[in-house]
Amino acid sequence: MIRSARLISNIKFGQKNIRQFSTNTNWWANVQKGPEDPILGVSIAYNKDTSPSKINLGVGAYRDENGKPYVLDCVKKADKKIYEANVDHEYAPIVGVAAFNQLAAQLALGEECKHIKEKRIATVQSISGTGALRIAADFFARFLKGKTAYVPNPTWGNHNVIFNDAGIPVKSYGYYNPATCGLNFEAMTKDIAAAPEGSIILLHACAHNPTGVDPTAEQWKKISEICKERGHFVLFDFAYQGFASGSPEKDAAAVRMFVEDGHNIALCQSFAKNFGLYGERIGAFSILTETSDQALNVESQLKILIRPMYSNPPVYGARLVQAILKDKELTNEWRSEVKGMADRIINMREQLVKYLKKHGSTRDWSHITTQIGMFCFTGLTPEQVDRLANEYHIYLTRNGRISIAGINSTNVEYLAKAMAAVTKDN
């Protein structure tokens, strides 16, 4: 009886402790709500608006003339080929689909690139451009310890966050001149030259996001020379090959120039915009090396880094890109389609300027047509952006960046009229 009473007492004591413990497991009470992504906020406001004339100029994805997502015909054909081949769904290797990696490097660097021919390059498939940048940042944190990453001001919002999360300090170099809505080349070169020797310099290969402002060929040459003189390590973010000018070769000119100048660069590629494969998350990360042995060593360390991060990349999107780039007919069709997308954006820039003049705007809007790629830094103030939203149902980020892909022949004049109105007397 005594033993039973003790047992019952212990059970009750244990239940009491369990109850006490259970009431003290509110682990996440200290977690505060984080701020919304500013671009996501644009889409949320747009979706809530019931006006039939509303325009969303915040979305970072291509839209066709009817404002709809666009699936490339070459992608549809590649998809059919993959389906008919009855392929399996086994894991890809840690580095991804080997044939895709080879084709991705060739697309960016050219088939005659010595690094590719001499196997002095390590390429891994990544989770689109963001994933490539994260691999880069984590790799640099391990093997370029103590280095600071320099990014343009302004730059894509994720750049700072990715490097900071990897433990790499981030500083900025001058890039954009608000007075001219163009490149501040003097500030850019001065800041890069003043950066400590051996710094990490991030450059947008083409179609700078968010400004749409790119250096000229002569300016790129000077930037390359400064980086060599200072012993900087160059990282290219290459998210828009073919999508900027309509020519994959022209858009790769800066990357290839740096390689020819002797830089063993790192390269982050995305196939979201130029192949329309946004949701497939297809990208690649490459490091150029001095020897083939170094390339093997780098690849081995990249695999060690990737394994606990996401283990293996998805195969479907990589197979689509591979199927297109290894087939001459599909490659030519892709070139035609990516040029078509680029040309539509270039045409919308021209139409916007034409209608701004038609509706009496006396401002100099020439930067709209000299900038390149999906995005344009309009020069609109936050107050003018607010007026566009409140009075005209036109939504964009408060820094004045618009996605040209959101403009089409049915809304371009309405947009121009609204922009002319909010900038009048300013």
Domains of the chain from N-terminus onward? 38-70+342-422 (3.90.1150.10), 91-326 (3.40.640.10)
DSSP 34: P
How much is the pLDDT for 40?
Answer: 82
Q: pLDDT (tens digit, 9 = 90+) per residue, 39-77?
A: 888 999 999 999 999 999 998 899 999 999 999 999 999
Buried b (16+ CB within 10 A) or exposed e, 166-176: bebebebbbbb
- Close Cβ partners of 411 (under 8 Å, ≥ 6 residues apart): 53, 55, 67
Residue 204, SS3 per DSSP: strand
Give the DSSP per-residue string, 65-130.
Answer: TTS-B---HHHHHHHHHHHHTT---PPPPTT--HHHHHHHHHHHH-TT-HHHHTT-EEEEEEEHHH
Provide the pLDDT for residue 261: 98
% the chain with pLDDT above 70: 94
> Reduced to 3 states, what is the DSSP secondary structure of residue 202?
strand
* Crossing angle of the two packed helices 253-260 and 98-109, in degrees rounded to 10: 90
Catalytic residue among 138, 156, 191, 251: 156
Burial bucket for residue 48 (CB in 10 Å: 0-12, 13-18, 19+): exposed
- 27 is an active site residue: no
Task: Return mean pLDDT, the chain.
Answer: 94
Q: How confident is the model at residue 297 (pLDDT cuts 50, 70, 90)?
A: very high
Instruction: Give the dihedral sign, CA 365/367/369/372.
Output: negative
Q: Which of 237, 251, 334, 365 is catalytic?
A: 237
In this predicted structure, the answer to whether residue 12 has a pLDDT above a threshold of 60 is no
Question: Which residue ranges are tagged as binding site for substrate?
Answer: 60, 156, 209, 401
Confidence of residue 399 (pLDDT cuts 50, 70, 90): very high
Mean pLDDT, residues 185-202 taken together: 99
Range 82-97 average pLDDT: 96
* pLDDT at 238 > cutoff 60: yes
**Token pair 């401002």 in the structure block, residue:** 363
Active site residue 156: yes
- pLDDT, residue 14, reads 54
Task: List all residues 6 or more positions away from 395 whose beta carbon is below 8 Å from its beta carbon.
Answer: 42, 43, 45, 46, 49, 54, 55, 56, 57, 58, 388, 389
Binding-site residues from annotation: 60, 156, 209, 401
* 154: preceding bond cis by omega (within 30 degrees): yes
* pTM across the whole model: 0.92
